[in-house]
Chain A
Amino acid sequence: MEQQQMKTNAVSMMTAVNFSEMKISSNPAETLVAFSIGSGIGVTAFDPVSGFGGIFNFMLPDSTQATGVDPGKVPLMFADTGVPFFVKALFEQGAHLDRLKVVIAGGAHIMDQTGMFNIGAKNYTALKSGLAIYDLEINHEDIGGTNSRTLSLEIGNGSSCIKIFGQAEVKV
């Protein structure tokens, strides 16, 4: 009975990662999920050897552009301050950067939201610059458009899933 219960728990263990947050785990029973990503971008990174992986979910490209908040208190709100924070946290847990499989999803825009107001596109550019500093390649991406997305990472097998309402889930 107890074993059965544990098995049930193992299957259903899901941890939400809100915007401006990250979560890192090596628990093979855990799935990390960033729900309803809009113009922000969710980033999954997984090291298959150490078994550590995480999700980082940011909203804005550039901490120097945002007034009214102290980026030191919310580094994970921004691509430029969030990427180093996330990468460092993974590294400290024993993940090797050259083994990380990186998947990204989000960066959507409102219809006709072009040019300077297209924050989704700016997020994408800022994220790529941030990852390039660590020579991190993006293994798979689903970026732009007008859909909101849900991105998850199964720690047990390192699979990332991208889900758009009304469409089949994409597993990579």
Chain B
Amino acid sequence: MKLEDIVEQIDLLEPVPPIAAQIMALTEDPNSSLEEISDLILNDPALTANLLRTCNSAFYSLSRRVDSVRDAISLVGFDQIVELVLVNSLSTNFKKELVGYGLGERELWRHAVSSAHIAGTLADRFGASQSKHLIYTAALVKDIGKLILGRFVAFSYEQINILVHSQGHSFNDAEQEIIGMNHEQLGELVAKRWHFSKKLTYIIRHHHLSDEAARQDLETALVYLADIICMMMGVCTGGDGLCYRFYSGVLDQLNLSEQDLQGIIAEAGKNQQQVEVLLNL
């Protein structure tokens, strides 16, 4: 199997809507304003309509009807609006079935939105509120490489599985050994093709923390932590299961005790209802 054949498949993905890339860029820019973001949303009528419909749904139980994007931002909150817009714009690719990873339709999407939600909570908790949108987005799109690698994993699953269960490889190391590329590396290529920011691309490339330097990076570490929490909770975990490395040093750096970890899992379980709302968009 040639690596070029795999990379070529990037072109078969539904291109990410320009508005999603623009919003991601704006939310990472400390100089951007609420007005810029709301103007950007207003330029997309379908997105605006969807946003207003969601904000007026029973889930938010607002005291009055939301009839403009600015209204939505002030009533529902800026963070929530950005999350709604990103989820809305990025869902098409992620909702597809991924045979190689044993994930049915919408399952990778459920995993992605759940881990993004957890990552957002972790950002607040660990003093990374300023990069909350980056962390949320990174957790949402970190497995983008799986969208392409899935069909190659399907052909090689048995060989990968032997390396994982007989030789103790992590699933991504086994992907690299058997296929020649893992879903982090492929995700990096997709991110570059779609002009994601350097930092977002970095987190996608290193979200399993195989690289030691990435373990020192707070944003990447929080995306990693959200991912393993999702795996432990069993939110649409596929054929790769929990076959990734656990780095207790990362939890030590965050001063996270076992009790804290259990508390985060419990809270994430409780918040799953909010995730369901986003999933039904």
**Measuring CB to CB, which residues of chain A are less than 8 angstroms from any residue of chain B?**
18-20, 35-40, 59-62, 65-69, 74, 77, 106, 108-113, 115-117, 119-120, 146-148, 164-166
Contact = CB atoms under 8 A, between A and B. Distances in A.
Contacts of A109: 232, 242, 246
16 contacts: A19-B233, A35-B234, A38-B235, A65-B258, A77-B269, A112-B247, A117-B246, A117-B248, A117-B258, A119-B265, A120-B232, A146-B242, A147-B241, A147-B242, A148-B238, A166-B158
B266 interface: yes
Contacts of A68: 263-264, 266-267, 270
B245 interface: yes
B258 A116 contact: yes
Nearest to B160: A166
B85 interface: no
Given A40-B233, A117-B258, A166-B239, A66 B263 contact: yes
A148 B263 contact: no
Interface residues of B, number: 39
B73 interface: no
Contacts of A66: 262-263, 265-266
Contact of B245 (A38, A74, A112, A147): A112
B117 to A, nearest CB: 14
Name the prevailing secondary structure of the A interface residues.
Answer: loop
Given A65-B262, A77-B269, A166-B102, A38 B242 contact: yes
Interface in B234-279: 234-239, 241-248, 251, 258-267, 269-270, 272
Interface string B153-171: 0000110010010001010
A108 to B, nearest CB: 5
Interface of B: 102, 157-158, 161, 164, 168, 170, 228, 231-239, 241-248, 251, 258-267, 269-270, 272
B262 A119 contact: yes
Contacts of B270: 68-69, 74, 77
Contact of B266 (A69, A110, A147): A69
Q: Which 3 A-B pairs have the closest CB atoms?
A: A38-B234, A66-B266, A113-B246
A112 B102 contact: no
Nearest to B237: A148
Given A111-B243, A117-B246, A165-B102, A38 B237 contact: yes
A111 B251 CA distance: 15
Contacts of B237: 36, 38, 148
Contacts of B260: 67
A128 B222 CA distance: 33
Given A111-B246, A166-B158, A20 B269 contact: yes
Given A20-B269, A110-B228, A146 B245 contact: no
A148 B233 contact: no
A123 to B, nearest CB: 10
A74 B234 contact: no
Contact of A39 (B232, B238, B251): B232
Task: Name the residue among A112, A116, A165 with the largest chain B CB count within 10 angstroms.
Answer: A165
A16 B251 CA distance: 33
Contact of B246 (A37, A38, A106, A110): A110
Nearest to B258: A116
Contacts of A116: 258
B267 A69 contact: yes
Contacts of B157: 166
Contacts of A60: 262, 265-266
Given A37-B234, A38-B231, A39-B232, A62 B262 contact: yes
B269 A36 contact: no
A4 B259 CA distance: 53
Contacts of B241: 38, 108, 146-148, 164-165
A119 B261 contact: yes
